[in-house]
Structure 1
Amino acid sequence: MNPLLYALYQLLKVIVRLALRIFYPSKKYIHAERLRFDYPAILVSNHPNTLLDPLTVAAKTQKLVFFLANAGLFKSAFGNWFFNTFFCIPVTRPQDTNGQKKVSNEDSFARANEHLTRGGILYIAPEGTSEMERRLRPLKTGTARIALSTEKKNDYKLGMAIIPVGLTYYRPRICGSRQIVNVGQPIFPQQYAEAYEADPIQATRSLTADLENEMRTLLIDTKDETEDQRLRLLESIRQNDSPLAGEERFRREIALLQEMRRISDPLFFEQLDTYGQLLKKYEIRDQAVAKEGKAGGLSLMTVLALPVYVYGWINNYLPTQIPVWIDRKMDLYPGYTATVKILGALITIPLFYYLQMKLVGWLFGAGWKWPYLLSLPVTAWVVWKISGRLRNWKVRRRYQSLSAEQKKELADLRKNVHPGN
């Protein structure tokens, strides 16, 4: 490989890891050690968050990763050069042709076979499309076809693996939210050799089904949006009463989903939905009901930090809010929101920090430039922390403004739907 391209890949990998860590500061990798291996492999994951999904997986993988990408990205001359140069292999989906011609990916599959035979790593999103939802859609057979055909061409001695990864986002469009990256056990296609020789189509389906079943255990896999919203509310109730973090919280949420599915009483779900609707109507959160609006004032530390908050808000406004404005103006599919914000911030933050530093040096003297520059990321963090406290304070204030009857109704509903009751 071209050493310059390899060096650029490693540099971009560092930038991506830093950007993802800032955007999803509560990111938790489960079994990250499974992304350290010494055999050819196909990495697969669910695909709710467009470009961030492959980047999240590749950023933690030790080896260089190639990507099986939507052929639409290669249509322009620049796109064709860029994505072919930077480790992507095009694949055409039936929806990309509008049914006007038969889809053939023989050349792409051949490139994938060759890459894996050489010991390479390939990322595939086997759902085929990206939908911002917490559930796994049925997998396409392309991953299994590539894996089995590659092993067959190597007399089933290559020893390649398919490594499933489950991605669970909690508020994927919002900077500062949680993310779980759960890496599953590798699946070795050579174990399907006998079945593939006897019936390639059935073996491909069997491998796809096994992969899908494994992936469903790695993420929050709700049936529909209604079930997802109910689970979020129940988990919020449980979290506010018994706080957990990281993997423990994730495991509890999976168990809570199974517990919720065993409930057959329609009254339970009617009360749960009513509770959620009232929280939305009053613009409050379960935390306020759980604590009965206690600690309604701001802490002394928060009050003392308000001047720093104002300074940070003013000086970080343009570099952090321009990407948000761009995302709103572009009005893209919501799955691109986080991507646009991160890519935009990678440009606006260095640019405006530099320009503002130069302006401060011009206004107040060169000696102020570097202290000012160093203050920007520090006060940006203060703004983020204080903003969360101010939001919680406003929620508590709204709860305190409710009548005694409204508070009692909320408390009774919460007690009736409390997990474990």
Structure 2
Amino acid sequence: MSIVRRVFYSIIRIFAKLIFTIFYRDHGAFHRENFPRDDGTPILFIAAPHGNFLMDAITIFVACPRQMYFLSAKSNFNYPIFGTIITILGCIPVTRPQDVERVNGDGLVKVIDEGKMVTGEGLGKILQVGDTLYVEFEGPNNNEMLKEASGTVEEIMNDDLVRIKEPDIPTTYSYTHMPPNSEVYSAVYNHFSKSQCVAIFPEGTSHDNEHMLSLKYGCAVMSLGYLASKEPDAFGKERKLKLVPCGLNFFNRHRFRSRVFVDVGHPIEIEQRLVDLYRSGGEGKRQACQELLKTIQTSLTELTVNAPDYNTLLF
């Protein structure tokens, strides 16, 4: 991080602390001793649940003593002031499917096999696994109101058939291509290689649920992908990485003078067995990501309150 960015980072952090102190009557971090000391090992901070892209980022920003780079939706960079700030701070833009311009498809498609397949001329040629397919269909009683549903393409069966789950009627369609993540991973690996810290909200979207959503594979892929490389880091040393789960606990998140605290979990050391399994590719790579993601999910669950109210906690 350049001197200019270090100074700017410090100024923004002081300003963020001031805002936090005004808005929340009580805030802080539990188990701060779990924040690793700066021993040259890069860290991936993994925080959940993700309720608001701004307040959640500020919460981690204020609580963590280490300088870090946040992954942020590319659309956030379009805000006039906020976008400039996160650009100077070196945040890493992530293009999500909903940020990609939707393309209208030619002709009609039909969903068959009890909603498991979508067929249409040339559909398999223009779509890829991971793309989002949108279909429109008539509402109840054949009224003029159109309903829309979307789903992720799971498998390309042939040139005219893809596997997905949608309604079983002829319908118009549109789609978005799943943006490649190679640039995001490359940016993250670059920070890791320089022994820097990166922060991510692995649910992939903000929400108001009382419990965490299922975590996306990105945090597991970027962790194992970095360690799986046999190249040394920027200092010529063997690659290392620690994962630090952070539970975000808000009490009346949007209410003025409410409370918030971050519960910092024990750092997760990634087993060499998982790294070797990831290197094997194919099913081994998938299994390694699933195991690591399960470990992360378990850690975050232990650090957060996944219940709608106090009575639920009392059974």
Which residue does the alignment assign to 1:44?
Answer: 46
Could you say what secondary structure the match of 1:136 adopts? coil
- 8 Å contact from structure 1 (residues 66, 89) kept in 2: yes
Q: Which amino acid aligns with 1:84?
A: T
Q: Residues 271-318 of structure 1: CA distance to partner in whole angstroms, max 9, x if unpaired?
A: xxxxxxxxxxxxxxxxxxxxxxxxxxxxxxxxxxxxxxxxxxxxxxxx
* Aligned pair partner of 1:146 in 209, 222, 235: 222
Q: Which amino acid aligns with 2:60?
A: V
Residues 75 and 19 of structure 1: is their aligned pair in 2 closer, same or farther, counting only changes over 3 Å?
closer
Alignment of 1:172-191 (within 5 A): 172-191=253-272
Q: Does 1:216 align with 2:301?
A: yes
- Residue 52 of structure 1: how far off its partner (Å): 1.2
Q: Does 1:3 align with 2:3?
A: yes
Which residue does the alignment assign to 2:95?
Answer: 92
Whole-angstrom CA distance in 1 between matches of 2:180 and 2:90: 21
Identity of aligned residues (%): 25
Q: Which amino acid aligns with 2:30?
A: I
Could you say what secondary structure the match of 2:53 adopts? coil
Q: Does 1:70 align with 2:146?
A: no
Q: Does 1:202 align with 2:204?
A: no
Residues 49 and 16 of structure 1: is their aligned pair in 2 closer, same or farther, counting only changes over 3 Å?
same
Alignment of 1:337-356 (within 5 A): none
Range with greater deviation from structure 2 (102-111 or 21-30):
21-30
Residues 77 and 34 of structure 1: is their aligned pair in 2 closer, same or farther, counting only changes over 3 Å?
same
Which residue does the alignment assign to 2:203?
Answer: 127
Structure 1 length-normalised TM: 0.51
Structure 1 or 2: more strand by fraction: 2
Unaligned runs of 5+ in 1: 223-227, 235-255, 261-421
Whole-angstrom CA distance in 1 between matches of 2:85 and 2:256: 28
Which residue does the alignment assign to 2:157?
Answer: none
- Residue 65 of structure 1: how far off its partner (Å): 0.8
Residues 190 and 111 of structure 1: is their aligned pair in 2 closer, same or farther, counting only changes over 3 Å?
farther
- Residue 212 of structure 1: how far off its partner (Å): 0.7
Could you say what secondary structure the match of 1:128 adopts? coil
Q: Whose relative contact order is higher, 1 or 2, with alpha carbons under 8 Å and at least 6 apart?
A: 2
Which residue does the alignment assign to 2:26?
Answer: 26
Whole-angstrom CA distance in 2 between matches of 1:52 and 1:106: 28
Whole-angstrom CA distance in 2 between matches of 1:130 and 1:85: 23
Range with greater deviation from structure 2 (94-103 or 195-204):
94-103
- 8 Å contact from structure 1 (residues 151, 190) kept in 2: no
Q: Residues 94-142 of structure 1: CA distance to partner in whole angstroms, max 9, x if unpaired?
A: 2322532232111111011111111010010000000123311100000
Q: Which amino acid aligns with 1:183?
A: V
Bigger radius of gyration, 1 or 2?
A: 1
- 8 Å contact from structure 1 (residues 35, 60) kept in 2: no
Whole-angstrom CA distance in 2 between matches of 1:40 and 1:193: 16
- Residue 202 of structure 1: how far off its partner (Å): 1.4
Q: Residues 32-75 of structure 1: CA distance to partner in whole angstroms, max 9, x if unpaired?
A: 12224222111111111321112211222222110111011235
Structure 2 length-normalised TM: 0.67
Q: Which amino acid aligns with 1:51?
A: L
- 8 Å contact from structure 1 (residues 159, 190) kept in 2: no
- Residue 89 of structure 1: how far off its partner (Å): 0.7
Alignment of 1:250-399 (within 5 A): 257=313, 259-260=314-315
* Aligned pair partner of 1:163 in 225, 244, 247: 244
Q: Which amino acid aligns with 1:217?
A: E
Whole-angstrom CA distance in 2 between matches of 1:3 and 1:114: 18
Could you say what secondary structure the match of 1:25 adopts? strand
Whole-angstrom CA distance in 2 between matches of 1:77 and 1:134: 32
Q: Which amino acid aligns with 2:292?
A: L
RMSD (Å) for aligned C-alpha atoms: 2.2
* Aligned pair partner of 2:178 in 94, 102, 115: 102
Q: Residues 164-201 of structure 1: CA distance to partner in whole angstroms, max 9, x if unpaired?
A: 11111111111211212111111123542232233112
Residues 168 and 206 of structure 1: is their aligned pair in 2 closer, same or farther, counting only changes over 3 Å?
same
Unaligned runs of 5+ in 2: 103-131, 133-175, 233-237
Whole-angstrom CA distance in 1 between matches of 2:200 and 2:257: 27
Which residue does the alignment assign to 1:362?
Answer: none
- 8 Å contact from structure 2 (residues 28, 63) kept in 1: no
Q: Which amino acid aligns with 1:173?
A: H
Structure 1 or 2: more helix by fraction: 1
**Number of residue-to-residue matches in the alignment:** 230
